[in-house]
């Protein structure tokens, strides 16, 4: 890795850049895409093809202060039951619009806390999804599981529904850090949850852990990572905590003066990264790690790694449909997002229409630049032949773009007839390099730290 003075000179510790789980990024969406466009795009899905489905459950029993997701707290099941009826009605609309024979290559329940659903609710939701599109051969069904909000009967219901990958948010195991971010979740509770999951034959386990949290030090980070490694997760997402209190008001409860500096954030990341590599995990993109036999590692070696709203994926589907309030769908034609507020989403669905409130239809160089950014984020390289063959780019066009970006980064990048490559020592700059290929105005969007 380059030394910190070089990285500082290139602006790493000051930059605010997108995470690039889409291109264009969500702040660029407009109301030009509505329910009719969304329905039209669904209708264009080839009959008999495989798609992905994301289901958003925007409820939590308690609201963690660090979280910037669209969620709402509830101690009662009443709003959850009402929302489940909305999801079922939305799935009926989807079934009417989808071409025949569509199956699911990936199904993911996220939130919020999907595991606050009762076993009966889980079975009901899974059945409604199956009526729309069943899981295809080799499909992956993953669910975000909160160890504070799970038990044997709910895990039994998920296993019966076909869940074969579980995802657990760890954040950090240190008690002081947990108290400061409003997320109390002891190691023993997490370990017991993992044991319950595996006892039901669910072999694949994802885990999220954060760096850049208040009061986090290298010693505390080391201890948390080692505890996580003792659980033998198949995949780990090592995300940087995004402190955006102007967007997520609950983050105002987190003392900003206890946050690590950008330079300290980099040290925390590198410490955790070394621990995962020492344990023989494959490094996936900018912030994921996976066992050598995991699908992500296999996809990376084969050049099939992709990036979507859940992070890195080996999902081959061209279509991702998001169900529920605020969910975003991705099509070959563009992006479509449901109404963010639960009440607005519910109102539209009850009126018999999709709640699509905004999105983006691809135009101009969107597909070309989007693939360039995805390739950088996944493989740290842009293949010129792919850009010419898939998107009709000329070599002169590519050469000009590569040269301009390389100049901005003091010639650190490697450019050849094959394309552009980000060397290992420059990889902390990857999101900034990706931003250099972004044609949209990012000045008004409140993005997170580049590290």
- For residues 309-331, one letter each, b for 16 or more C-beta atoms within 10 angstroms of the residue's C-beta and e for the rest, the string is bbbbbbbebebbbbbbbbbbbbb
Q: Which of 1-5, 159-163, 353-357 has the lowest mean pLDDT?
A: 1-5
In this model, does residue 374 exceed pLDDT 90?
A: yes
Is the model more confident about 115 or about 63? 115
Which residue's entry shows tokens 């301009």? 404
Least confident of 67-71, 141-145, 357-361: 67-71
pLDDT higher than threshold 80 for residue 1:
no
% of the chain residues with pLDDT over 70 = 99
Which of 210, 255, 262 lies closest to 236 in space, CA to CA? 210
DSSP assignment string, 160-203: HHT--EEEEEEE---HHHHHHHT----HHHHHHHHHHHHHTT--
CB 22 within 8 A of CB 335: yes
pLDDT band at 444 (very low <50, low <70, confident <90, very high): low
Average pLDDT over residues 69-78: 85
On the question of pLDDT at 198 being above 80, the answer is yes
C-alpha 182/C-alpha 64 separation (Å) is: 5
Lowest-confidence region among 41-45, 65-69, 370-374: 65-69
Cis amide linkage into residue 112, ω under 30° from 0: yes
Residue 446 scores a pLDDT above 70: no
Given a cut of 90, whether residue 249 has pLDDT beyond it is: no
Average pLDDT over residues 356-379: 98
* Amino acid 250: pLDDT: 86
Q: Give tens-digit pLDDT for 4-14.
A: 899 989 999 99
Mean pLDDT for all residues in the chain:
95
Could you read off the pLDDT of 82-136 as tens digits, one per residue? 999 999 999 999 999 999 999 999 999 999 999 999 999 999 999 999 999 999 9
């Amino acid at each position: 890795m380059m030394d910190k003075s070089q990285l500082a000179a290139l602006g790493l510790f000051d930059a605010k850049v997108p995470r690039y789980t889409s291109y264009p990024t969500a702040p660029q969406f407009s109301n030009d895409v509505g329910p009719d466009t969304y329905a039209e795009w669904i209708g264009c899905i080839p009959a008999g093809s495989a798609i992905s489905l994301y289901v958003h459950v925007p409820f939590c029993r308690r609201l963690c202060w660090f979280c910037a997701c669209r969620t709402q707290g509830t101690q009662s099941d009443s709003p959850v039951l009402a929302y489940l009826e909305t999801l079922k009605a939305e799935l009926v609309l989807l079934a009417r619009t989808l071409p025949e024979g569509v199956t699911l290559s990936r199904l993911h329940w996220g939130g919020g806390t999907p595991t606050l659903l009762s076993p009966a609710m889980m079975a009901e939701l899974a059945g409604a999804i199956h009526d729309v599109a069943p899981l295809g051969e080799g499909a992956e069904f993953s669910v975000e599981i909160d160890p504070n909000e799970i038990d044997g009967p709910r895990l039994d219901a998920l296993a019966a529904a076909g869940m074969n990958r579980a995802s657990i948010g760890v954040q950090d195991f240190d008690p002081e850090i947990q108290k400061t971010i409003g997320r109390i979740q002891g190691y023993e509770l997490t370990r017991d949850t993992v044991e319950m999951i595996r006892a039901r034959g669910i072999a694949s386990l994802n885990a999220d852990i954060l760096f850049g949290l208040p009061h986090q030090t290298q010693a505390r980070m080391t201890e948390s990572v080692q505890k996580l490694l003792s659980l033998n997760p198949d995949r780990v997402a090592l995300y940087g905590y995004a402190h955006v209190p102007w967007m997520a008001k609950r983050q105002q409860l987190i003392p900003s003066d206890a946050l690590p500096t950008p330079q300290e954030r980099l040290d925390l990341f590198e410490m955790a990264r070394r621990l995962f590599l020492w344990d023989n995990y494959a490094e996936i993109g900018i912030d994921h790690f996976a066992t050598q036999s995991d699908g992500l590692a296999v996809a990376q070696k084969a050049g099939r790694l992709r990036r979507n709203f859940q992070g890195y994926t080996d999902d081959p589907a061209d279509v991702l449909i998001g169900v529920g309030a605020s969910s975003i769908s991705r099509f070959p034609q563009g992006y479509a997002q449901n109404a963010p507020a639960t009440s607005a989403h519910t109102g539209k669905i009850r009126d018999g229409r999709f709640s699509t409130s905004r999105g983006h239809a691809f135009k101009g160089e969107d597909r070309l630049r989007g693939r360039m950014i995805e390739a950088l984020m996944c493989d740290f390289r842009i293949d010129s032949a792919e850009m010419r063959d898939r998107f009709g780019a000329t070599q002169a066009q590519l050469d000009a773009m590569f040269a301009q970006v390389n100049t901005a980064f003091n010639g650190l990048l490697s450019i050849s007839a094959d394309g552009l490559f980000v060397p290992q020592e420059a990889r902390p700059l990857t999101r900034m390099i990706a931003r250099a290929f972004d044609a949209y105005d990012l000045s008004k969007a409140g993005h997170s730290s580049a590290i």
